[in-house]
Structures are given as structure tokens and as C-alpha cells.
């Protein structure tokens, strides 16, 4: 842990406390730090924005990417008031964030009706065993976009 971890974690907790007292969303806050400075913050605003993806971590990642004008947050640390749900965890991984520091655990969240165990289980199941019915259709046609992408000399890998 860095010497600044407590300071940035307290900032994420402050965002979660502010949100807990309001109606914008759940009691969650997140801060993205790169090079020792805050580059993005976020509070859960699922209900205010009517966006189920507007979790604190996602909001903070989006803000950091806008500020830094990049999709790659390599070298950054995310401080989050709670261990992330599967969506947020995967977003953190996709953003290439180097390290995560969190406050509350998944069990703590479940105790106040934010239980994401079902989502974690669904992600680990084979597609045909998930609760969401899914059927593959026009796979060969869909693969055309992958062929075009793989030959595009201007593509930006991520």
C-alpha cells in the first residue's frame, strides 16, 4: 500500500456517505488516482440517471478516461468504498487499472440489501446455463466484422 492510500480511501468513503444520505443512488463512492493525483471520482447514481450501469466505479472510470483522454488507465489506482460487483470489477480490469483498494466487502453490501452473489454466479456459468435465455444467431455473418477489424491497419487495440 502507498502512503496516500488512506487519504484517497477516505475520499471514496466521503462520496459514499454523501450519496447514502441522498436519493441519487446507493451508498457507494470511488476515486481513480494516477501519478498521485485524482483523475476521476464517482458516486453511484443509478436511480438519478436511470442508468443501471452508473455505479460509482464506472462513473469514476468514465471521468478519468475523459480527463486523461484515453481508454487505458494503466498506472492508476482505484479506491472504492466497497468491493466491486462483477460489472465494476470487469470494467476495472478492462481499464487496465493497476491496483484496487476497497473498504466494505461483498458480505457487508449484502447485509444492507446489495447482494451481488447471484451476479457473480451467473457470470461463471456457461452461457446455456445462465438465467438469461440466449441463442446464437447469424454467427458467420457476425464474424465478418471481426475479419474487417483484424485487417484494419488503423485499429486501436485494447
Task: State the catalytic residues.
Answer: 57
Any alpha helices (H) in 3-155, and if so which ranges?
5-20, 46-49, 56-68, 86-94, 106-110, 117-124, 139-151
Give me Rg for the CA atoms of the chain. 18
Amino acid at each position: 500500500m502507498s502512503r496516500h492510500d488512506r487519504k484517497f480511501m477516505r475520499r471514496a468513503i466521503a462520496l459514499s456517505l454523501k450519496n447514502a444520505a441522498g436519493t441519487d443512488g446507493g451508498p457507494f463512492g470511488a476515486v481513480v488516482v494516477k501519478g498521485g493525483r485524482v483523475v476521476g471520482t464517482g458516486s453511484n447514481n443509478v436511480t438519478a440517471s436511470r442508468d443501471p450501469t452508473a455505479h460509482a466505479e464506472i462513473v469514476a472510470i468514465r471521468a478519468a478516461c475523459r480527463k486523461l483522454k484515453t481508454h487505458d488507465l494503466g498506472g492508476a489506482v482505484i479506491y472504492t468504498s466497497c468491493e466491486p460487483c462483477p460489472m465494476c470489477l470487469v470494467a476495472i480490469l478492462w481499464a487496465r487499472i493497476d491496483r484496487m483498494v476497497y473498504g466494505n466487502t461483498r458480505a457487508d453490501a449484502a447485509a444492507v440489501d446489495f447482494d451481488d452473489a447471484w451476479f457473480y454466479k451467473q457470470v461463471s456459468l456457461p452461457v446455456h446455463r445462465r438465467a438469461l435465455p440466449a441463442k446464437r444467431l447469424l454467427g458467420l455473418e457476425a464474424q465478418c466484422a471481426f475479419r474487417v477489424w483484424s485487417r484494419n491497419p488503423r485499429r486501436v487495440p485494447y
